[in-house]
Amino acid sequence: MLDIRELRKAGEEISARLALRGYTLDLAAFEALDAERKDADMRSQALQADRKKASKQVGDLIQSGMSVDAAKAQVAETLAQIDAEMDREVQRAQAIQEQLREFLMGVPNVPHEDVPPGRSEDDNVEVRRWGTPREFDFTPRDHVDLGEAMNGGIDFERAAKLSGARFAVMSGSIARLHRALIDFMLDVHTSQHGYTETYVPYLVGPDALRGTGQLPKFAEDLFRVEGERELYLIPTAEVPVTNLYADEILDAAELPQKRVCHTPCFRSEAGSHGRDTRGMIRQHQFEKVELVQLVRPEDSDAALEALTGHAEAILQALELPYRVVTLCGGDIGFSAAKTYDIEVWLPTQNTYREISSCSNFRDYQARRMQARWRNPDTGKPELVHTLNGSGLAVGRTLVALLENGQNADGSITVPAALRPYLRGAERLGG
């Protein structure tokens, strides 16, 4: 959520920055609401002054010749009228404040100064590449054909029987490979990158989703669970992990907070009909190892570079070619100020596909959550900066391993770094 004080002070500048996203800020509507809020506050203050003045009039009325009982009754009537009007003004102010809050909750984050202009993913800017895509001396098969050939290692038909489209059942060596990837990622991030492994609930309330920006704007992308209270299946571990610090004030010594968390993720994929319908690229349920950081504001730019490097390290260890792109204004996520997408090479699609998004949210999420730290220089609480990124999306990593590591006989070469997690196996299947 944007800082309302900054919006009052630099509305035109913020509006111009938001236009980089293709978002039109209704500054006039904001200013009208804010003026109405100010009027309600001023009216309440005036009524309080009137009440204070009226309460002192009993003595004046008695001195003017009015009886004590009559003077008290007249003042009591006046106070009752003022109190009734004050109640109306308080209710008006509360209603306006809620309208202002809803307005601000619907405004996306202001893009970072480094975000390039552009309307879509076609305008994203490549930063770097790592690795060289493999040249095959046979026609490579996609992960669906490879998985199905490995004794039904990936079974979409039985998954559809259970749950419908966009689900998968994994068995045997494919299921072991999937589990090995999770363990490998968690081990690297905890032992080499300094993250604390964290386990969280897979169901969260609406406040947590509002805190990280999924609600109210993206309600249709969520799975809401029917029950005695309002709960949602998490779309990403970002939601529960970042919200661990909602409504808290951290000591300076507690920063940075670096958490790594493996969870299933659940997304309705609203609006994606017809996209990636084959295979495991876009599913309603998938696994992800998520990296989350809370840092001092002055450290967040450097933290984004480091976090992105942590996700890249996994791909390098698995010997998977990839590239890193900076998202343009028209492609950046609602809550993010700046995002790097890491895209892994998929030979059967002859292109790079997203496998991780690493974002700096600055104080946007922290303001919604009221996640703060106490600045030792001032002694006052200040908002932290939040960051997160996939380290990595497990299903898409499995897809990339199958397709890039395949052999002509249908077997899959296991990268050396992953072999200890697969009982030393150098190949799977075939």
Q: H or E stretch including 114?
A: none
- Distances in whole angstroms, Cα of residue 268 to Cα of each of 121, 216, 284, 380: 22, 15, 6, 41
Same domain (yes/no): 54, 165: no
Same domain (yes/no): 264, 353: yes
To the question of whether residue 357 is assigned a binding role by annotation, the answer is yes
To the question of whether residue 120 is assigned a binding role by annotation, the answer is no
What CA–CA distance (Å, rounded) separates 278 from 315? 23
To the question of whether residue 354 is assigned a binding role by annotation, the answer is yes
Same domain (yes/no): 62, 187: no
Residue 81 lies inside a defined structural domain of this protein: yes
Q: Pick from 354, 355, 357, 397: which is nearest to 180 by CA?
A: 397
Residue 245 lies inside a defined structural domain of this protein: yes
Contact by Cβ (8 Å): 204, 235: no
Which pLDDT score, from 0 to 100, does residue 198 have? 98
Q: Residue 376, class by beta-carbon neighbours within 10 Å (0-12 exposed, 13-18 middle, 19+ buried)?
A: exposed
Residue 289 lies inside a defined structural domain of this protein: yes
Backbone angles phi, psi at 412, to 5 degrees: -120, 125
Residue 213 lies inside a defined structural domain of this protein: yes
What CA–CA distance (Å, rounded) separates 192 from 171? 30
Residue 173 lies inside a defined structural domain of this protein: yes
Residue 13 lies inside a defined structural domain of this protein: no
To the question of whether residue 267 is assigned a binding role by annotation, the answer is yes
Show the domain range for 381.
Answer: 121-428
Q: Strands 169-170 and 154-155: what pairing?
A: antiparallel
Same domain (yes/no): 146, 225: yes
Same domain (yes/no): 269, 134: yes
To the question of whether residue 356 is assigned a binding role by annotation, the answer is yes
Which pLDDT score, from 0 to 100, does residue 3 have? 96
pTM of the shown model = 0.92
Tell me the catalytic residues: 267, 282, 354, 357, 396
Same domain (yes/no): 56, 127: no
What CA–CA distance (Å, rounded) separates 83 from 119? 54
Residue 36 lies inside a defined structural domain of this protein: yes
Same domain (yes/no): 187, 43: no
Q: Strands 381-383 and 125-130: what pairing?
A: unpaired
Same domain (yes/no): 424, 281: yes
Residue 287 lies inside a defined structural domain of this protein: yes
Same domain (yes/no): 167, 290: yes
Q: Which residues of the chain are under the pLDDT cut of 70?
A: 67, 271-274
Residue 291 CB coordination number (10 Å): 28
To the question of whether residue 238 is assigned a binding role by annotation, the answer is yes
- Number of structural domains in the chain: 2
To the question of whether residue 71 is assigned a binding role by annotation, the answer is no
Same domain (yes/no): 130, 185: yes
The enclosing domain of 260 has a CATH number of: 3.30.930.10
